[in-house]
Amino acid sequence: MKNKNCFLLHLCVLLVLVSCNKNEVKKDFFANGRVKTEIKMEGNVRNGFYKEYYENGNLKLVSNFENDIQNGETILYFDNGKKEKEIFFKNGIQEGKSTFYYENGVISEVGNVKNGKKNGSFTLNWEDGVLKSKLNFVNDEIQGEGFFYNKKGQLEYKINFKDSSPINWNSVKTDYNFDFLFPNSFETVLTNSKEGKIALIYKSSSDIYKPNVNVVTIYNSKNMTLPSIISENMKELKSSYSNLKIIEQTDEFVDFQIEQEGLLIRGCSSFRDCANNEVLILSTLSLAKSYEIYTPIFNLMKESFTCRNH
C-alpha cells in the first residue's frame, strides 16, 4: 500500500511538471533587462497571446496565435503608447477591417482587406480628421474614380484610375498633397494654361549642381519614376540647360523639349532612350557633374518627347 501511494505521488508530480512544461510564456529580453517579446506556448507551438515591446517598456504589438497560426485582432502601437494600426488575421493571412492612426490618435486610413490585399472602399483623413480622399481598391490596385479633398474638406480632384495609374482627372484647385500615394516625395500640381492640362511632379534624389534648379519626379505603384523639371529662377534654368527649349513657362510651370538628339552644347550632352521614352541629360557645367532622367508625365508632354527614327 505504501509503495502504491508513493507511485501515485510521483505520478502526480510528473503530471504537474509535464503540464507546466506544456503551457508556458516564453520571453526574450533587451540588453537593459526589459522584456522584448513574450508569447504563450504549448510545447513548441505558439498558442495564445503574442506581445512585443519597445525598449522603453511600452507595448509595441499585441496579437494572437492558434496552433502556430496568427488569428484574430492584431494591434500595433506607437512608442508613445497610442495605437498605430488595428488589423485582423484569418489562418495567417490579413483579412477584414484595417484601421491606421496618426500619432495624435486620429484615424488616418480605414478600409477592408481580403486575402491579404486591399479590396473595396478606403477612406483617408488629414491629421485633424478632415476627409482627405476616397479610393477604391481591387487586389491592392486603385481602380475606378478616386476623390481627393483639401484640408478644408473641399473636393479638389476626381481622378480615374486603372491598376493604380491615373487615366484622366478633373481638377478644381491646385497644390494637393499626394504623399500617401507616392511616399518620400513632395508635390505640386502644374497647369499648362495653353492646353489646360495638368502635370503632377515630385522631387527626386538626382544630383543637382545648381541649388535653385529642382528635378521633380512622380512615383507610380510599380516604383517607376516619371520626372520633369521646375525652377524658382527661370533665367538660371535657361542658361544652365542651354539645350532645353522652353516651350511655355509661368510662375508654376515649365514645359520643355530637347532640340536635338545627341546635341552637345556648353558641356551638356543629351540623348534619348526611345524604348523607354526618356531623355538622359549628362551635365558637366559649373563645378560638379549631375545626371537627370526626364520622362513625360502621364504623357501630357508626349509631343515634346516624340522619338524620331534614325
Q: Tell me, yes or no, whether 197 lies in a domain.
A: yes
Number of structural domains (the chain) is 1
| pLDDT of amino acid 202 | 34
Asked if residue 258 belongs to a domain, the reply is yes
Q: What's the confidence (pLDDT) of residue 162? A: 78
- Which structural domain, as residue segments, surrounds residue 290? 177-310
The pLDDT tens digits along the chain (310 residues) read 555 555 555 555 455 444 444 689 999 999 999 999 999 999 999 999 999 999 999 999 999 999 999 999 999 999 999 999 999 999 999 999 999 999 999 999 999 999 999 999 999 999 999 998 899 999 988 898 888 888 888 887 777 777 776 665 554 444 444 444 433 333 333 333 233 333 333 333 333 333 333 333 333 323 333 333 333 333 333 333 333 344 333 333 333 333 323 322 222 233 333 333 333 333 322 222 233 333 333 333 222 322 222 2
Is residue 287 one of the residues assigned to a domain? yes
- Look at residue 234 and tell me if it is in a domain: yes
Question: Is 80 part of a structural domain of the chain?
Answer: no
The verdict on residue 86 lying in a domain is no
- SS3 assignment for the chain: CHHHHHHHHHHHHHHHHHHHHHEEEEEEECCCCCEEEEEEEECCEEEEEEEEECCCCCEEEEEEEECCEECEEEEEECCCCCEEEEEEEECCEECEEEEEECCCCCEEEEEEEECCEECEEEEEECCCCCEEEEEEEECCEECEEEEEECCCCCEEEEEEEECCEEEEEEECCCCCCCCCCCCCCCEEEEEECCCCEEEEEEECCCCCCCCCEEEEEEECCCCCEEEEEEECCHHHHHHHCCCEEEEEECCCCEEEEECCCCCEECCEEEEEECCCCEEEEEECCCCCCEEEEECCHHHCCHHHHCCCCC
Q: Taking the complete model, does pTM exceed 0.85, yes or no?
A: no
In a domain, 207, yes or no: yes
**Residue 6: per-residue pLDDT:** 54
Q: What is the pLDDT of residue 16?
A: 47
Residue 296 lies in a domain: yes
